[in-house]
Amino acid sequence: MRPVIRAERVAKRFGGPDGLLALDEVSLSIQEGEFVSLLGPSGCGKSTFLRCLAGLERQSQGVLDLNGVPIEAPPEKLGIAFQRDALLDWCTVRDNVLLPAYFGDLPRKAYEPRAETLLDMVGLTGFGDAYPATLSGGMRQRVAICRSLLLEPKLLLMDEPFGALDAMTRDQLNIDLHKIWAERKMTTVFVTHSISEAVFLSSRVLVFSGRPGRVHADIAIDIPTPRHLADRESPAFTGYVRQIRGIFETMGLIHD
């Protein structure tokens, strides 16, 4: 079966031939419907690789395909969410969710029911007319997730979307995101620094080395779905966390 995403010996260098090498020899494949987390230290190229997948950056060398087609621009049916929610403060919550339809020159009326359904799904029923300034950080990030899902993406890319949130809000959004993925099974690539978050959300975890980023380990997460916070106390879950922490220790990235 042909993978949805195929990377072969992808490298990315900033600043010309003698510039900063952010990625080096990254090779991986991702199948349709997988939730794959990219896990690694700060500055290892995870976000750079995600931007290449989104068509926002071009790799310096190597092959990077989506459904067999080289990624040269943002692909169709792409949803993307970043650490900063990037909501427009002068637009209502509903209008923020509908932005992809606006920029795609699609009929607003056709997408308004879906926007309301998504807001209901993440616990924001009745907030459509509110403005971002009145929302908490977690609520704003829920709006950003709804926006990324409006056009029913085939590929969802998320760059540390919960990194700036408190632990309790982050836990709830992990549950919300996992539930949405389990229901819709869109191919998802998720960047995080959190080992437990990666294990909880993912069907696979790709561990990146320090800069220049390379795929150091590829770990399938064999924990049944749907998942619940209580699963984080299970022997299987803690075993995966220990395994990944051990990998970082052998790379010299975690010290006692």
Domain range annotation of the chain: 5-77+153-250
Q: CA-to-CA distance for 179 and 15, rounded, in angstroms? A: 41
Tell me how far apart the alpha carbons of residues 161 and 173 are, in angstroms, rounded to a whole number: 10
- CA 19 – CA 158 distance, rounded (Å): 27
Which has more confidence, 77 or 12? Answer: 12
pLDDT of residue 256: 61
What is the spatial distance between Cα 158 and Cα 87, in angstroms, rounded to a whole number?
A: 15
Residue the block writes with tokens 């607003």: 108
Closest-CA residue to 155 (of 5, 39, 24):
5
Distance CA 7, CA 29 (A): 6
Contact (Cβ atoms closer than 8 angstroms) between residue 245 and residue 198 = no
Single-letter amino acid, residue 13: R
| 161, 141 contact by CB (below 8 A) | yes
**254: pLDDT confidence band, cut at 50, 70 and 90?**
low
Is the pLDDT confidence value at 146 over 80?
yes
- The answer to whether the CB of 102 falls within 8 A of the CB of 50 is no
Pairing status of strand 35-39 against strand 204-208: parallel
Cα 18 to Cα 12, 22, 24, distances in angstroms? 12, 12, 14
- The set of residues, in sequence order, having a beta carbon less than 8 Å from that of 143 and lying 6+ positions away, is 85, 87, 93, 96, 97, 119, 124, 132, 135
Q: 5 has which bridge partners?
A: 30, 66
In the predicted structure, residue 34 carries a pLDDT above the cut 80? yes
At which residue do the structure tokens 């907030």 appear? 127
Domain with residues 5-77+153-250, CATH architecture: 3-Layer(aba) Sandwich (3.40)
Over pLDDT 90: what percentage of the chain?
64
Give the integer Cα–Cα distance in Å for 215 and 256: 24
Confidence of residue 253 (pLDDT cuts 50, 70, 90): low
- Span 165-189, pLDDT tens digits: 888 888 988 998 998 899 888 999 9
The residue to which tokens 């020159």 are assigned: 105
Is the whole model's pTM more than 0.85, yes or no? yes
